């Protein structure tokens, strides 16, 4: 158990809908990262937050957004969903904002868009 929790475990929705994925980092970790794992692309970095502020962006679509709240939990919002958004979404946390510290991953949320 990494100490990172993600809810829900599974989500099934329809195209055009909007969903919110939630992540609670390990106790004491200030950085939260979101990753998408699809069959053909592997694990792709989406976005990073550090202590409530956005720190880095990766391959995140404009339809996706995230935020980190004062209690350090984070939410990833996916809107106008398309079939191709079906994937595993992982959240990871680390102690510092620099990736020198290893990131600890949650169990993931499996999103299926029908």
Footprint on this chain of other proteins (rule: CB under 8 A):
2, 4, 33, 35, 42-48, 50, 55-56, 58, 90, 92, 97-100, 102-108
Query: What's the rounded Cα separation, in Å, for the pair 14 and 39?
Result: 20
Task: State in angstroms the smallest separation of the CB of 38 from other proteins.
Answer: 11
* Both structure tokens of 31: 């950085």
In the complex with other proteins, which residue's Cβ is closer, 73 or 97? 97
* Both structure tokens of 21: 């994925």
Query: What's the rounded Cα separation, in Å, for the pair 77 and 67?
Result: 9
Query: What's the rounded Cα separation, in Å, for the pair 92 and 105?
Result: 4
In the complex with other proteins, which residue's Cβ is closer, 80 or 92? 92
Task: State in angstroms the smallest separation of the CB of 62 from other proteins.
Answer: 18
In the complex with other proteins, which residue's Cβ is closer, 49 or 78? 49
Task: State in angstroms the smallest separation of the CB of 5 from other proteins.
Answer: 10
Longest CA pairwise span in the chain (Å):
39
């Amino acid at each position: 158990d990494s100490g990172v929790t993600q809810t829900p475990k599974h989500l099934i929705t329809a195209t055009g809908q909007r969903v919110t994925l939630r992540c609670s980092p390990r106790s004491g970790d200030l950085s939260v990262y979101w990753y998408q794992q699809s069959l053909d692309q592997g694990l792709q970095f989406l976005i990073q937050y550090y202590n409530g502020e956005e720190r880095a962006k990766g391959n995140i679509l404009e339809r996706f957004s995230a935020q980190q709240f004062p209690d350090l939990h984070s939410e990833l919002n996916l809107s106008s969903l398309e079939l191709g958004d079906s994937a595993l979404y992982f959240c990871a946390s680390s102690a510092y904002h620099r990736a020198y510290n290893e990131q600890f991953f949650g169990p993931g949320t499996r999103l299926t868009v029908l």
